[in-house]
A and B are shown apart, each in its own frame.
Chain A
Amino acid sequence: MSDEIQVQDQTAPDQQEVPAEKPVSTFRLIATLAIAGTLAGLLIVLVNQHTKPLIDAYKAEQLQKAVYEVLPGTDHYNTYYLVDSALSLTLPEGAKESEYKRIYVAYKADRKLNGVAMSRGESGFQDVIMIIFGYNPNTAKLMGMKVLDSKETPGLGDKIFKDMTFVDQFFAGPDTPLIPTKPGTGKGLPGEIDTITGATISSKKLIEIINHALEEWQPLMAQGLPQTSANSTDEEVTP
């Protein structure tokens, strides 16, 4: 049957309806798709093996850059995972890294605690806004913020990462929890962040994401974070 199709061109479509077609056995149908599926799987695995290290390296590099950006003065950092409601440097044996929430505890060159970077995503105006921000647990002040991923409206909502006056407020060390304030109506409180006119929802949401993340992590950080880095060669990332 397939033979009949391949001999004819689009020049003679009516020849396709040749009546004497032999029915193809079910086995052949299944075998064809099974072989095609196996070959497709093999090809995908081969290419995946080649591209996965590149993709992972790029992701790690982007994350590393972001941590240094939101925690100015960082020399190196450790990743702490949330394991059984406590912070841990190591994961249980056989655990998948991607399934665990984490924070990045950063140290200065003199091995003193610099701050903690946390990333979190929540729905914004269009889609999930993914951010990472730096926080100093000793002073309870914010150190910096970077939007990692956002599909907010171009020209309006995207001001949350394009409007530098707004972004700079997070680097100026505001107190936490942050208080979203309409521009010009602030009472001069140390946690106030002016929202953006024309991007009120997106900018308020961004402030909320930070407050929610802090609510979640503050009790855990209160259990105690090492104030000095133990060993600069042990499980640490340095630039």
Chain B
Amino acid sequence: MRKTTPSQDFIRGIWKENPVLIQMLGLCPALAVTNTVKNALAMSAATFFVICCSSILISTCKRFIPNEVRISAYILVIATFVTLADMMLQAYAPVQHKELGAFIALIVVNCMILGRQEAFSAKNNVFRSLLDAIGTGIGFTIALVMMGGFREILGTGSFMEISLFGPSFEPWVIMVLPAGGFLTLGFILLFMGYIEQRKKTKLEEAEAVEASS
């Protein structure tokens, strides 16, 4: 494997290895709580807090954690930060907390977070781990807000609760229901697959031209 630079650690998670859209991790919250942009943002903020704190702590303490109990220790660290995020959201953003319900507690089992700890924080220094966590957190936020925006605009005709199309708009209720989550994710992935394929074809064409000349 090649060595990465700190900036690559940071950039990687945002788009090239986006946790939701490329790695297909953390799909549970991405499907469940993206019916509005506000919910998507609250979920992203909570996840961002948890992944950054966990990465800092785990990369700091990695030498003290025996290999045999590392997964238990990671889960313990993540669960602690999730509990803190849960209590703080309930105290400072009770409306969003009510909307997100059980999904806040379920951040504990978001494989994106555990995955970053096992794959990166456990092997790298604090600075690099934090960069990686911030990048991954931003990538997760981008994916969730994208889905939330798409679903809220079509499902309720508004964005961040600001009405866009006026009262004559008939909302596509299905978009804010669970089925809408699957549809939205499907379309976004389809679109990304299309772009990827076009890039590949262009590259191949260019190579073919080069080879023939």
Chain A interfacial positions (CB closer than 8 Å to B): 1-3, 5-6, 8-13, 24, 28-29, 32-33, 36-37, 40, 43-44, 47-48, 50-52, 54-55, 58, 149, 153-156
Q: Is the Cβ of B173 less than 8 Å from the Cβ of A44?
A: no
Residue from B2, B76, B79, B91 in contact with A51 in the complex, judged by beta carbons closer than 8 Å: B91
Q: Is the Cβ of A1 less than 8 Å from the Cβ of B66?
A: yes
Which of these binds chain A: B106-114, B120-128, B138-146, B204-212? B120-128
Q: How far is the CA of A24 from the CA of B68 in the complex (A)?
A: 8
Q: Is the Cβ of A32 less than 8 Å from the Cβ of B92?
A: no
Q: Is the Cβ of A29 less than 8 Å from the Cβ of B91?
A: no
Main secondary structure of the interface of B (DSSP, over half): helix
Q: Is the Cβ of B76 less than 8 Å from the Cβ of A155?
A: no
Given A47-B88, A51-B90, A154-B156; 9 other pairs, CB 8 A cutoff: A1-B67, A9-B3, A33-B69, A36-B73, A37-B76, A55-B94, A154-B35, A154-B176, A156-B173
Q: How far is the CA of A2 from the CA of B64 in the complex (A)?
A: 7
Q: Is the Cβ of A9 less than 8 Å from the Cβ of B176?
A: no
Residue of A nearest to B70 (CB): A2
Q: Is the Cβ of A154 less than 8 Å from the Cβ of B68?
A: no
Chain B interfacial positions (CB closer than 8 Å to A): 1-3, 35, 62-70, 72-73, 76-77, 79-80, 83-84, 87-88, 90-92, 94, 98, 119-120, 122-124, 155-156, 171, 173, 176-177
Cβ–Cβ < 8 Å partners of B123 in chain A: 5-6, 8-10
Cβ–Cβ < 8 Å partners of A1 in chain B: 66-67
Q: How far is the CA of A10 from the CA of B69 in the complex (A)?
A: 20
Q: Is the Cβ of B3 less than 8 Å from the Cβ of A11?
A: yes
Cβ–Cβ < 8 Å partners of A50 in chain B: 91
Q: Is the Cβ of A6 less than 8 Å from the Cβ of B120?
A: no
Q: Is the Cβ of B67 less than 8 Å from the Cβ of A5?
A: yes
In the complex, which of the residues A3, A29, A36 has the most CB atoms of chain B within 10 Å of its own CB atom? A36
Least Cβ–Cβ distance between A93 and chain B, in angstroms: 30
Please name 12 pairs of A and B residues whose Cβ atoms are closer than 8 Å in the assembled complex, sorted by A.
A5-B122, A6-B122, A6-B123, A10-B123, A36-B77, A37-B76, A40-B76, A43-B80, A47-B84, A154-B155, A155-B171, A155-B176
Q: Is the Cβ of B1 less than 8 Å from the Cβ of A10?
A: yes
Q: How far is the CA of A32 from the CA of B98 in the complex (A)?
A: 35
Residue from A10, A11, A32 in contact with B65 in the complex, judged by beta carbons closer than 8 Å: A32
Q: Is the Cβ of A2 less than 8 Å from the Cβ of B87?
A: no
Q: Is the Cβ of A54 less than 8 Å from the Cβ of B62?
A: no
Q: Is the Cβ of A154 less than 8 Å from the Cβ of B77?
A: no
> If A5-B122, A11-B3, A58-B94 touch, does A40 touch B80 (CB 8 Å cutoff)?
yes
Least Cβ–Cβ distance between B78 and chain A, in angstroms: 10
Q: How far is the CA of A51 from the CA of B65 in the complex (A)?
A: 31
Least Cβ–Cβ distance between B23 and chain A, in angstroms: 15
Q: Is the Cβ of A24 less than 8 Å from the Cβ of B66?
A: yes
Q: Is the Cβ of A2 less than 8 Å from the Cβ of B62?
A: yes
Cβ–Cβ < 8 Å partners of B2 in chain A: 11
Q: How far is the CA of A1 from the CA of B173 in the complex (A)?
A: 55
Q: Is the Cβ of B76 less than 8 Å from the Cβ of A36?
A: yes
Q: Is the Cβ of B66 less than 8 Å from the Cβ of A32?
A: yes
Cβ–Cβ < 8 Å partners of A47 in chain B: 84, 87-88
Least Cβ–Cβ distance between B94 and chain A, in angstroms: 5
Q: How far is the CA of A237 from the CA of B10 in the complex (A)?
A: 53
Q: How far is the CA of A29 from the CA of B87 in the complex (A)?
A: 30
Cβ–Cβ < 8 Å partners of A52 in chain B: 87
Q: How far is the CA of A142 from the CA of B175 in the complex (A)?
A: 37
Cβ–Cβ < 8 Å partners of B177 in chain A: 153-154
Residue from A10, A11, A44 in contact with B83 in the complex, judged by beta carbons closer than 8 Å: A44
Q: Is the Cβ of B92 less than 8 Å from the Cβ of A54?
A: yes
Least Cβ–Cβ distance between A53 and chain B, in angstroms: 9
Q: Is the Cβ of A6 less than 8 Å from the Cβ of B63?
A: yes
